[in-house]
Structure 1
Amino acid sequence: MTNVCPPCAKTLRTVPPIYDRQLLNASLDEIKSAIRQHKACIAALEKREQEAVQYLARVYPVFTLPNEIVSRIFIECLPSHGRVRPSPIRAPLLLAQICHHWREIALSTCELWTSADVDAGLHLPSLAPRVGTVERLLPLLQTWFSRAQACPLSLTVRSRYEKLPVAIYSIISAFAERLHRVELNLSVDDLRALQQLSISLPHVRQLAVPFNLGAYLALESPFRAITIFPNTPRLQDLAIGQCTISELGIYQNLTRLRLSQASIDQILQILQSRSQITDFTAVLLRPSSSRSFSAPPPLTHIHSLALFEYEGDTVVEVMLGLLTIPNLRRLELGVNKQPPSLLAFLNRSACPLEHLSLGSNFAQDCLAVLPSLKTLEVQVDPRTIIHFREVLEIPTLVPHLHALSVIVNDIKDSDDADPGVDNAKDFDYAAFARSLETRRRQNPNLRSLKLRLYHTFEFGPPGTPWLPKHAREELERLIADGMRIQVNFALSLGWPELADRCGTFP
């Protein structure tokens, strides 16, 4: 018998035998009365339910959203770079802990579980301290990716200090058919072990094995990281330590290439022979001799170029003196000082540059030839910020600038310190804020600011905000005026919210 309430159970037990008509009619009246009472009770409960739902909608409207919209909001909570580090204090695991309803939505939203960024060498700091060992990592990844169902997967594995167990390689092999992005920051032994497995990645679009092999040139047998995955027919984005023109021949769909070791000869050959590459990044090696190089014809296929050099070299200056890139839209120069050949390169190329990343000692004349510039990244210190503030307050320079990134370096005890100057002067937040306000009054296009602080800062007692109070007040005034601001310090902390360190690989 179906479970019923005690009053109903009593009524059912008092139903007389079918042959006693008088008692049966009396019992029927009793049953009808009980039904009316229960209907009235149900009506009252339904009314209270409706009132509770309406109150909930007024106080907590988020719980009344359709599941599809909640799912979309959850997806927007993931980091923009797409690398998701499993953590109970971050999406998606955090979202699954709010309530049962949200947990069901999170677990059924496949896109939340398509990416995993893990450190397999030590322990998983996202789990309980010193509990998330490799033994826990394997089932975690299997459960994590199983929730993604048929969606493309992204896997980032970091472990440069310990050799991984063979079981870790099985994860890559098990999901090889579904992986669209693979990033590995591993030891040479691990890379060799993967190479021996000859794992095919038939659908991978992005592959990054940026481990710098320059320190391992003394190995008994040569090793080329580019040979780890022999079958990647759909690869479009490759980040690797070294490669040759012949090795790149197997990647017919490659449009983005990043090399952590490259000579001028290699770069010139690659840029001229691979016209489908539109985005190129390289760390330049110093030439073995003071030889001259022939300038290539204009490289019309390059839209993004990033060149870096080892400290003390001038290889970037040589490269800029050779190149002409008329369709360049993004230029990043990882140098200590602005190369003298930059202005000639910009004039020669006459490119519609939209993003420029420069070192210190930037020149106003370079910005004057870039009217289409939208984002700018520069390096300053408490001394050079004065010149940059003057540039910032000229409304005719880069009139379409809407995003600014400023790296603030410390000149105390550095090679640039001037014995005759007060090098201990702190960064002047108030003056910098005034220059930003002046810029926004004259040209309201500037809407975003990122500050990366590398200058010396003394931490106070526990709980003391690391950003000085006067600095926060200056920045909060700009935020109140509608400007988006983020401040990072020491590569880990951020304001007004914490920075996500796993955004940069490796």
Structure 2
Amino acid sequence: MHNSGCIEEINVSGEECPSSDLACSACKELTSLDAQIEDARSLLRTLYLKRCQVKLRRNLHHDQLVRSLPIELVSRIFVHCLHSPPPPSLPEDDANAAHDARRPNPVSLVLAAVCQRWRQIAFSTPHLWTVVCVRISGPSIAHYPQMTSEWLRRSGHLPIWLDVYEERLQPALSGIRRQLADPAPIFDAINRHISRVETLKLHFNRKYLTLLRGETPILHQLFLSITGSQHELSSAAFRLADARPSPHRVIIRDMPYTAVGIEWASVTHFEAFSLTSSECLLLFCHSPHLTHCKIENITMSAAEFNPLDPQTITLSSLLTLILDPYRRCTPHAAPSVVASLTMRSNCALRELIINWFDGTLSQLIDVVKMMPSLEELSASHFRIHDEIFELLAATTSTQEDTPPEEVFLPNLRVLCLSGTPYFNWWSLPPIFSQNNTDTDVVLRPLSSFHLHLSFSRRGPGEEEGQTPEEIDEDVKQRLHELRAGGKEIDIVNVFDDSLEL
């Protein structure tokens, strides 16, 4: 049967009984049952509250932690459960990984959920609330401003580690949900405490940058991962206040260097997913105290103009330099530029990681000869010849009074080479120092050696002069002996697993 009309709801309360004088027996019974149900509900609420009180007493009796220790000591124990976040850094494998990574459940909320007494202690321990992860999108965004404000209030007056991020949405839903969500109240709650921010991580669309405002006098670490179209990012600007912050550690991704309003002279640790060559020059000019510099992609457009003279730049404090120039960007200039920079700076560089592309091994050797302080060297995308191994073998041990500049990489501990092999397998074992008890002999501390080899093939045979893929058995035996003696040796064919020690 099809009924297209509305069905009238029936009143079963007994209030509209058609009996002339008194309600019928059914209505009386319903009224009585309703009263009993309400009494039962009231009793249930009373019993539930009583149960909570008894449970609290039970927890206090059975909780040896709270019973046996002063509240101040319990609070200290709770603080030790809080894992300090690692320093912000670009991911090794994927620049988007940090943006997409799931945030773990906060330890403070886990502790507060155990029982009422633990919750009271957790809520009154400011250190538990100094790590703040704030999401500015999602279906429950209306509650986020109050939650953020409460969290920040519990942190008292302590420095804050703040991560503000936008949930990555499906393309079909992102536009709709962002139209409905207004994150401005969340930023208002943050801005009231922004003067206490010591570490700031931002992962959201560039249009929200203007909502974050305030003085940040103690800002030490800054991570910017701003999203948007290429045109939008070109006009993005990070400006918190008239007084610029002075962070020491700065990581930027997909944002112009010139759009980051900070005091660059204070920066000692810098990482970027991509910079133009002009931006690199500006960075080196404005940050003379750099100790660690990592640039994953260096780009150059045809219209780019470098207003600075690179010959005026020095980085005397530089210890780690990681350069990965994009292949279309004048790789032939890289060897001379790196050599010139290190010579002028007279820096005690300890780690160099560089993609050499069309640079030759001889050029690489000329560069690292100027870096006697180098402890870790990683170079890739070039032809590997015997020359570098012969130089290392000839200087595995030197006299104590030999000037460091006369020894090839005297402090080298880690060597990583990646490229096409054109060397003799027998040239590898001699690069490691032999045990020597002479007190006036200095041994090179090389203990870690990694080779990632790309064998090129021309038809069924190997390219002329290329290293054979099969390692000589005698060489294998010697390398195994070195491994047994504590050396870390790793030789890999990047195309397959046929090359094994």
Query: Shorter-chain TM-score: which interval?
Result: 0.5 to 0.7
TM-score, normalized by length of structure 2?
0.53
- Residue 131 of structure 2, aligned match among 108, 115, 124: 115
Alpha carbons of 1:226 and 1:73: their partners in 2 closer, same or farther (altered >3 Å)? Answer: closer
What is the aligned partner in structure 2 of residue 347 from structure 1?
369
Is the aligned partner of 1:243 residue 2:250? no
The aligned amino acid for 2:164 is: V
Trace 1:283-322 onto structure 2 (pairs within 5 A).
283-286=297-300, 288=302, 295-296=311-312, 299-313=315-329, 314=331, 316-317=334-335, 319-322=337-340
Q: Which has the larger radius of gyration?
A: 2
What is the aligned partner in structure 1 of residue 221 from structure 2?
206
Which string of whole-angstrom CA distances, capped at 9 and with x for unpartnered residues, describes residues 264-319 of structure 1? 34433542454233333333222638999764565323223222223444264463
Trace 1:106-505 onto structure 2 (pairs within 5 A).
110-117=126-133, 120-121=136-137, 133-135=140-142, 137-159=144-166, 162=174, 163=178, 165-191=183-209, 193-194=210-211, 198-211=213-226, 215-217=229-231, 223-240=235-252, 241-244=255-258, 250-272=263-285, 274-282=287-295, 283-286=297-300, 288=302, 295-296=311-312, 299-313=315-329, 314=331, 316-317=334-335, 319-324=337-342, 325=345, 326-333=347-354, 340=361, 341-350=363-372, 352-359=373-380, 363=384, 365=388, 368=392, 369-374=408-413, 391=428, 394-396=431-433, 400=445, 420=460, 438-443=481-486
Contact 2:220 2:246 in 1 (8 A): yes
Contact 1:200 1:229 in 2 (8 A): yes
Contact 1:85 1:117 in 2 (8 A): no
Contact 1:180 1:203 in 2 (8 A): yes
The aligned amino acid for 2:280 is: I
Alpha carbons of 1:231 and 1:377: their partners in 2 closer, same or farther (altered >3 Å)? Answer: farther
Which string of whole-angstrom CA distances, capped at 9 and with x for unpartnered residues, describes residues 446-476 of structure 1? 59x9x99x9999xxxxxxxxxxxxx9xx9xx
The aligned amino acid for 1:158 is: Y
Alpha carbons of 1:349 and 1:107: their partners in 2 closer, same or farther (altered >3 Å)? Answer: same
What root-mean-square deviation, in Å, do the aligned CA atoms of Structure 1 and Structure 2 show? 5.6
Equivalent residue pairs, number: 363
The aligned amino acid for 1:278 is: T
The aligned amino acid for 2:353 is: E
**Percent identity of the aligned residues?**
18
CA distance in 2, matches of 1:74, 1:98: 14
Contact 1:395 1:443 in 2 (8 A): no
The aligned amino acid for 2:294 is: T
Gaps spanning 5+ residues in structure 1: where?
1-48, 57-65, 124-131, 423-427, 458-470, 475-506
Which string of whole-angstrom CA distances, capped at 9 and with x for unpartnered residues, describes residues 42-94 of structure 1? xxxxxxx9xx99xx9xxxxxxxxx7487446424x445347996534x74555
Alpha carbons of 1:73 and 1:305: their partners in 2 closer, same or farther (altered >3 Å)? Answer: same
CA distance in 2, matches of 1:144, 1:248: 28
Structure 1 position 173, deviation (Å): 1.0
Contact 2:198 2:219 in 1 (8 A): yes
Gaps spanning 5+ residues in structure 2: where?
1-60, 66-72, 89-97, 393-407, 435-442, 463-470
Contact 2:195 2:216 in 1 (8 A): yes
SS at match of 1:238: strand
Alpha carbons of 1:210 and 1:231: their partners in 2 closer, same or farther (altered >3 Å)? Answer: farther
CA distance in 1, matches of 2:451, 2:165: 27
The aligned amino acid for 2:86 is: S
Is the aligned partner of 1:87 residue 2:104? yes
CA distance in 2, matches of 1:78, 1:297: 36
Alpha carbons of 1:190 and 1:407: their partners in 2 closer, same or farther (altered >3 Å)? Answer: farther
CA distance in 1, matches of 2:430, 2:119: 50
Contact 1:308 1:316 in 2 (8 A): no
Structure 1 position 207, deviation (Å): 2.1
SS at match of 2:380: coil
Contact 1:393 1:435 in 2 (8 A): no
Which string of whole-angstrom CA distances, capped at 9 and with x for unpartnered residues, describes residues 17-63 of structure 1? xxxxxxxxxxxxxxxxxxxxxxxxxxxxxxxx9xx99xx9xxxxxxx
CA distance in 2, matches of 1:356, 1:81: 23
SS at match of 1:342: helix
CA distance in 2, matches of 1:93, 1:389: 59
CA distance in 2, matches of 1:376, 1:205: 32
CA distance in 2, matches of 1:392, 1:135: 65
Structure 1 position 179, deviation (Å): 0.6
Structure 1 position 180, deviation (Å): 1.0
Alpha carbons of 1:356 and 1:344: their partners in 2 closer, same or farther (altered >3 Å)? Answer: same
Contact 2:113 2:119 in 1 (8 A): yes
Alpha carbons of 1:179 and 1:392: their partners in 2 closer, same or farther (altered >3 Å)? Answer: farther
CA distance in 1, matches of 2:313, 2:191: 43
